[in-house]
Structure 1
Amino acid sequence: MSRLTVLAGPTAVGKGTVSARIREAHPEVWFSVSATTRPPRPGEIDGVHYHFVTDAEFDRMIADGELLEHAVVHGRNRYGTLRGPVQEQIDAGGAPLLEIDLQGARQVREAMPEALFVFLAPPSWDELVRRLVGRGTESEEEQERRLATARVELEAEKEFDVTIINRDVSEAARELVDLMGLEDRD
């Protein structure tokens, strides 16, 4: 039987970049596509990067029990993981990986305590700030909001089964693949 792996960590730590590296090298890993109420960023495609939904649709999904976890992130937008596809992957013996925030990871721990919970940490606070500012995708006000959230999120590292420090994307991806029990193809 397969086991769900949950990857979480503070904003700008590189969760998406590490996940993208794993996607390239390990097509057998199944990635959940989260639902969100935030608008798409340039280049994001509905159903590929996220399921972009209205607040009303998100409320319906919660009421109908369709979400494994859901949270308000950075005090603004809601994100959630669809329960059905995750369970289908586990039941089929797949290698499911959730890339989610701290609030969501806590809810998944309640619902699926048997999952493997991995915290992706930055090598230092200064590096985390550099990565966030370097993305250039958020306003200065949004950067400050995200950094305030990141300080809180870093304190939660002890809640996770294992920590990977993201000094190098390829190495962090390799460590996660090893934890998932998959063969490294690099």
Structure 2
Amino acid sequence: MMQVLPIESGATKECPPSGRLIVLTGPSGVGKGTLMRSLLQRHPELYYSVSVTTRSPRPGEIDGKNYYFISRSKFEQLVAQGEFLEWAEFAGNYYGTPREAVLNQIRSGKLVVLEIELEGARQIRVSFPSALSIFILPPSFDELEKRIRGRAQDSEEAIARRLRCAQEEIKAANEFDIQIVNDDFETALKDIEAALFG
């Protein structure tokens, strides 16, 4: 059975049934990025969609590998042109998923993995109801706060903002197909692999 994907209003394209969109989300500091990096190392056949953001690079982040770092005005221009599959503002910065690259990979039969914020994940659930959505949870809120502070990359104000957002995001976990608690890293990674390949 062919799956029909919404490309733009009024247009559809057929997609081979082997291609699929997988959405990984969860609160800031829960370990999404680390889980994603390990998943990609173990499974190079996965296509990871690099998001676009207006936030500044963190130490060690590389443009085009971790994110595409662009200005707010350029991001807003791309939104106006319909270039994003989803986009959202989080902690004062914009984040978005480039549309065409993802759709092309799904059409070619690839498993495409997105690591995105809650608002973007909700948009994907509406436009791609067949996407597999996975929510990563912390073992506890105290542990999440410890992880965010342990990164030592954000100001106290940014940490407080991330923690407020995290409380709201955790409440949304049940909206997703699968919830995985990132208590033991290796176990969480195996749970994701079982969801994707099981």
Name the TM-score class by shorter chain. over 0.9
In structure 2, how many angstroms separate the alpha carbons of the residues matched to 1:78 and 1:34?
10
**Any idea what the Cα deviations from partners look like across 1:4-58, whole Å, max 9, x if unmatched?**
1100001100000100111211111111100011111111111111111111211
Equivalent AA in structure 1 for residue 100 of structure 2: G
- Which of 43, 58, 71 is residue 54 of structure 1 equivalent to? 71
Assess if the C-alpha contact under 8 Å between 1:21 and 1:170 holds in 2. Answer: no
**Any idea what the Cα deviations from partners look like across 1:69-113, whole Å, max 9, x if unmatched?**
111101x10000001111111111111110001000011111111
Determine which structure has greater relative contact order: mean sequence separation of CA pairs < 8 Å that are 6+ residues apart, divided by chain length.
1
1:4 alignment partner, SS class: strand
1:131 aligns with 2:131: no
**Any idea what the Cα deviations from partners look like across 1:147-169, whole Å, max 9, x if unmatched?**
00000000001110110110122
Q: How many residues align?
A: 181
Residue identity (%): 46
Assess if the C-alpha contact under 8 Å between 1:17 and 1:169 holds in 2. Answer: no
How does the TM-score come out when normalised to structure 2? Answer: 0.89
Partner of 2:130: 114
Assess if the C-alpha contact under 8 Å between 1:21 and 1:169 holds in 2. Answer: no
1:136 alignment partner, SS class: coil
1:180 alignment partner, SS class: helix
Equivalent AA in structure 2 for residue 141 of structure 1: E
CA RMSD of aligned residues (A): 1.0
Name structure 2 gaps, 5 residues minimum.
Answer: 1-16
Richer in strand (by share): 2
Q: Which runs of 4+ in 1 moved over 6 A?
A: none
- Which of 132, 141, 164 is residue 148 of structure 1 equivalent to? 164
In structure 1, how many angstroms separate the alpha carbons of the residues matched to 2:74 and 2:30?
30
Name structure 1 gaps, 5 residues minimum.
Answer: none
Moved more, 146-155 or 54-63: 54-63
